[in-house]
Amino acid sequence: MLLVSMGVSVDGFIADRTGSFDWTVPSEELFRFHLARVGELGGCLCGRRLYETMLPWETEPSMRDSGLGSAFADAWSALPKVVFSHTLDRVEGNARLAEGSVAEEVAAMLTSTDREVEIGGATLAGQAIELGLVDEFRLFRYPIIVGGGTPLLPPVADAIALELVENRTFASRVVYERYRRTDEPG
């Protein structure tokens, strides 16, 4: 199963007009939720910016200064990653540069594991959504309106029917929404 998991503002943006997403820093409760979720994944396909944002979890010793940080660094480091980039010529950690198309790399990653696979980065996830490859959407809706920036979802030619299969509100007021694709119209 391929899933998209991203933090998003109430008005649908994953980064504001300046490219900042500092409003998505998780509370300890939400961080623990992310740790459990990452530990269940079989792989991750990343856009360049997501890869660069998450690379310190594999390379910076300071990320291991707490028990929780160390546990997340272990889980993230163990996760096989494929990075899509037009500008990088090498990657570090448990990652490799994509050699095939989005569809080919998704298929290869799904074949390599019996666990769920995450695809992240707005542009990359948008391509997978447009290709009809995404099975689930896991959104962390932050209580903020940023007024513009990088949209969570791309424009699509045809409606994508979804079913809400799980939701939860964290003490930090972040609302987790998990949607599964369905063939039934809304």
- Give the whole-angstrom CA distance, residue 47 versus residue 6: 13
Q: What is the pLDDT of residue 118?
A: 98
Q: CA 177, 181, 182 angle in degrees (round to 5)?
A: 125
Beta-sheet strand order (sheet of 116-120): 95-97, 81-84, 41-47, 116-120, 2-9, 136-142, 175-181, 162-169
Q: What is the pLDDT of residue 183?
A: 78
Residue-level pLDDT, tens digit, the chain, 186 residues: 999 999 999 999 999 999 999 999 999 999 999 999 999 999 999 999 999 999 999 999 999 999 999 999 999 999 999 999 999 999 999 999 999 999 999 999 999 999 999 999 889 999 999 999 999 999 999 999 999 999 999 888 889 999 999 999 999 999 999 999 997 665
Q: What is the pLDDT of residue 186?
A: 52
Give the global pTM: 0.92
